[in-house]
Amino acid sequence: MKAIQTLGLTKTFRQRVACDHINLSVNQGEIFGLLGPNGAGKSTLVKMLVGLVNPSAGSARVLGYSFREMAPRKRMGYLPELFRYQPWLTADEVLAFHAQLLKTPLPQGEREALLDRVGLRGRGYERVKAFSKGMQQRLGLAVALVGKPDLIFLDEPTSALDPIGRHEVSELLQELRQDGVTIFLNSHLLSDVEKLCDSVALIDGGQVLYQGSLQDAIYGGVRRYRVQVEGLTAEGAEAMQAGPHAAVVQWGAKLRAEIRVSLMREDLPQVVQQLVDLGVKVYEVEPDHSSLEDWFLSRIGKDAR
């Protein structure tokens, strides 16, 4: 059974088609990333799936139920992109309120544990109005986790967070995946999506342009890495280029240079070994994310825009 399966899901606001016959499927237990430019229809799709926007046409199944049924909603969590919690309530009261709405018990210890999990330890008795935007977004994440949902929709969950917060959320999402939770993530942060998501879809103008594995989409199995090295000579670079695994591009200072290699991930250790055998010092190897952005821009027709 798929966690989510949509069939021709469509939403039209007056003349504007926000989602246009969307067919998507999300496997259970995966982190699914929905990508697309501003106004692509990402939030509208999520709102239809959580029951906040009434579709103009089409249908969907969520956790094995028709998405119009109430039954699966108890097992779903949702962090909206524009979150706003009652400013007069404390964080603890917000969680208690959402537990009441769900008719699920959430004792104080569990409320504290939830706040702890999203980096709000010890802040439960402060009012929302005194929270920064990032703290409110963290609270929103905790709200999405009330009732231990099996499926969580997160609409740009890190838009207000500092780099530490983004890192913490990445770790939290990976923990949730380990627990078997399915996560539907809307995000503009391509590097986060690349790091976290098992599969992705790209939409634009309400239409699905691509669905599948990000690695397959972008790299076709081949990845690019930036490698910081010292002592790579022209002959060494040539030898690398002629080698079985790597195409090497060299630029920058002669002594310390950054090279780019394109290769299958499993060949990376051999290429590093090859550099070491050439007497080169390797300081850093990191994935080259520019290709992800290139892919995104080419698929959404940047030039046409």
Ligand X SMILES: Nc1ncnc2c1ncn2[C@@H]1O[C@H](COP(=O)(O)OP(=O)(O)OP(=O)(O)O)[C@@H](O)[C@H]1O
**H or E element at residue 144:** helix 133-145
Are 283 and 228 in contact, with CB atoms under 8 Å apart?
Answer: yes
Are 35 and 27 in contact, with CB atoms under 8 Å apart?
Answer: no
- The upper half-sphere exposure of residue 274, i.e. CA atoms within 13 Å in the direction of its Cβ, equals 20
> Exactly one of 11, 18, 19, 43 binds Mg ion (CB under 5 A); which one?
43
The residue range among 33-41, 61-69, 110-118, 161-169 that interacts with ligand X, by the rule CB under 6 A, is: 33-41
> Exactly one of 6, 10, 43, 137 binds ligand X (CB under 6 A); which one?
43
Q: Looking at the DSSP assignment, which residues form a beta bridge with residue 211? A: 201
Q: Choose between 189 and 259: whose C-beta lies nearer to Mg ion.
A: 189
Min CB(203)–Mg ion separation in Å? 11
Q: Choose between 174 and 207: whose C-beta lies nearer to ligand X.
A: 207
Q: Does 211 bind Mg ion (CB under 5 A)?
A: no
> Exactly one of 39, 64, 212, 279 binds ligand X (CB under 6 A); which one?
39
Q: Which of residues 81-120 bind Mg ion (CB under 5 A)?
A: 81
Q: Choose between 14 and 103: whose C-beta lies nearer to ligand X.
A: 14
Are 104 and 177 in contact, with CB atoms under 8 Å apart?
Answer: no
Min CB(129)–ligand X separation in Å? 25
Q: Choose between 82 and 242: whose C-beta lies nearer to ligand X.
A: 82
**Residue 81 CA: distances (Å) to CA of 87, 140, 158, 226, 289:** 17, 10, 10, 34, 25
Q: Which does 211 bind (CB under 5 to 8 A by kind): Mg ion, ligand X, none?
A: none
Q: Which does 36 bind (CB under 5 to 8 A by kind): ligand X, Mg ion, none?
A: ligand X
Q: Does 16 bind ligand X (CB under 6 A)?
A: yes
Q: Choose between 137 and 274: whose C-beta lies nearer to ligand X.
A: 137
Q: Choose between 16 and 281: whose C-beta lies nearer to ligand X.
A: 16
CB atoms within 10 A of CB 232: 24
Q: Which of residues 79-118 bind ligand X (CB under 6 A)?
A: 81
Q: Which does 40 bind (CB under 5 to 8 A by kind): Mg ion, ligand X, none?
A: ligand X
DSSP label at 280? Answer: P
What's the token pair of residue 23? 């067919």
Q: Does 64 bind ligand X (CB under 6 A)?
A: no
> Exactly one of 10, 24, 32, 36 binds ligand X (CB under 6 A); which one?
36
**Residue 133 CA: distances (Å) to CA of 84, 137, 145, 163, 165:** 9, 6, 19, 14, 12
Are 85 and 125 in contact, with CB atoms under 8 Å apart?
Answer: no
Contacts of 46 (CB under 8 A, 6+ apart): 34, 78, 153, 155, 184, 186
Q: Does 54 bind ligand X (CB under 6 A)?
A: no
Contacts of 184 (CB under 8 A, 6+ apart): 4, 26, 32, 34, 46, 49, 151, 152, 153, 154
Q: Does 283 bind ligand X (CB under 6 A)?
A: no
Which spans of this chain sit near Mg ion (rule: CB under 5 A)? 42-43, 81
Where does this chain bind ligand X (CB under 6 A)?
Answer: 13, 16, 18, 36, 38-44, 81
